[in-house]
Structure 1
């Protein structure tokens, strides 16, 4: 982050137009050893505290979308499993925007009368496939096309099950509608940064 900010500042110093693009920081590293993700010293972006702590709620929208997919998978299996999802071949993890090693590998489905007990886990939100798609999508249509193709599980015939099969792309698009929009902030030398 600091190197990217310094490069943008350097380009501006030599009268070159430059606009930096960074992703919104995760809370995990902010509270860990790495610290915030707004640079340091003279290579910083502002408003630092706002950016590091929730900013516009994009991480919440992303985390909610990821966990919606998990909830729909589990509910689909519980309600009769029309797609024949193999509980041992679910490749989609839940997410949270915090480092919590105890939740990396968990067992879900315990305590339910007809629950399907299975291994699951959490990833930090920024390490999810959905975050990668958010960073790579060129517009809302591209984002929707990419999320529909995400493989979340395999059925008992080892065929992939996608988000499109679960019929929840519209719900994800609603949750992510504001997260798809860039946020304009600035370096401490007043150069533009998109987050």
Structure 2
């Protein structure tokens, strides 16, 4: 009985916390005047889940035993990850000056990598190069490829992804058109 009472109290407290969190999310959206269909559907779903959890609080199984006392009680409590609400605006962090070959432009950017210094490395797919953008820079710097499309070791052919091996001070590129992974030191 003590276990059932303890778990029931925990469940009620958990439901109350979820309801309070939901109320705060609604207040925040209302304060920001930021209701959109995605948020409303999410909030509606959360309210339905809380209602169902309140009406059907636990999965309790009491297993029959030959002994006169209940020995086994199992309870299943579910924890759901909290929904993160993203702002409905964004800022440009690299390029943004139309499609092109200049150092402040990209052409079909593909994979990105952000290093520990917040530098952004972008696989510039149609320009056959990897461009590094320092934090808050107005233009990038070519760190691999950029010597036209080709199969030589100093050329790339539609690179799709890039990672930085900070320990060895090199970048590793998925060079799709050449069907290779290539390391630039």
Q: Same fold (TM over 0.5)?
A: no
TM-score by length of 2: 0.26
TM-score by length of 1: 0.25
Q: Greater relative contact order: 1 or 2 (C-alpha under 8 angstroms, separation 6 or more)?
A: 1
Structure (1/2) with the larger strand percentage: 2
Structure (1/2) with the larger helix percentage: 1
